[in-house]
């Protein structure tokens, strides 16, 4: 492939990503931690089913020791309803609101000459519990010096 062709392809990719903000495909990775509060039944099962519907069944669901992971193949952008996907992310955030913070990352990459926008969504436990839980159990204070 000539240098000119590669340069034109790179310019087209940058144009789509940075100027148009329009990918050729979408892909998603969502982690669902499960514990006694968040079982593998509802509402996690509903969220997984919704991802399968939005990505037209092009998903794999993996069971992990600490939960589930849902990974999609790249799906054509015109076949994914992005507003419904963002609404689903809000519902996932509500599901985990009491125990986790939802981390959302968006990445752009080129896969097989197509510009793919990937969403990585992971509920993460905070390093320190919320203030009201700390005061109930044990306040975080420095030990008294003697």
Per-residue pLDDT reduced to its tens digit, 58-93: 999 999 888 899 999 999 999 999 999 999 999 999
34 near 69, Cβ under 8 Å? Answer: no
Is 50 a domain residue? Answer: yes
Task: Answer whether residue 48 is part of any domain.
Answer: yes
Q: Please answer whether residues 67 and 31 qualify as being in contact, where contact means their C-beta atoms are separated by less than 8 angstroms.
A: yes
Is residue 143 assigned to a domain? Answer: no
Determine the structural domain holding residue 44 and report its residue range: 23-126
Closest to 99 measured CA to CA, from 65, 133, 67:
133
pTM of the model: 0.74
- Closest C-alpha to 99, from 42, 32, 29: 32
Query: Is 6 part of a structural domain of the chain?
Result: no
């Amino acid at each position: 492939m000539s240098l000119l062709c590669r340069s034109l392809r790179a310019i087209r990719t940058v144009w789509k990503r940075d100027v148009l903000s329009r990918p050729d495909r979408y892909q998603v990775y969502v982690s669902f931690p499960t514990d006694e509060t968040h079982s593998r039944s509802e509402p996690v099962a509903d969220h997984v089913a919704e991802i399968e519907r939005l990505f037209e069944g092009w998903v794999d669901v993996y069971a992990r020791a600490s939960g589930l992971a849902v990974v999609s193949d790249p799906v054509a952008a015109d076949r994914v309803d992005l507003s419904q996907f963002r609404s689903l992310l809000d519902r996932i955030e509500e599901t985990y609101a009491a125990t986790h913070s939802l981390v959302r990352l968006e990445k752009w990459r080129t896969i097989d000459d197509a510009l793919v926008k990937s969403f990585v969504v992971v509920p993460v436990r905070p390093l320190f519990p919320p203030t009201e839980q700390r005061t109930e159990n044990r306040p975080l204070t420095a030990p008294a010096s003697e």
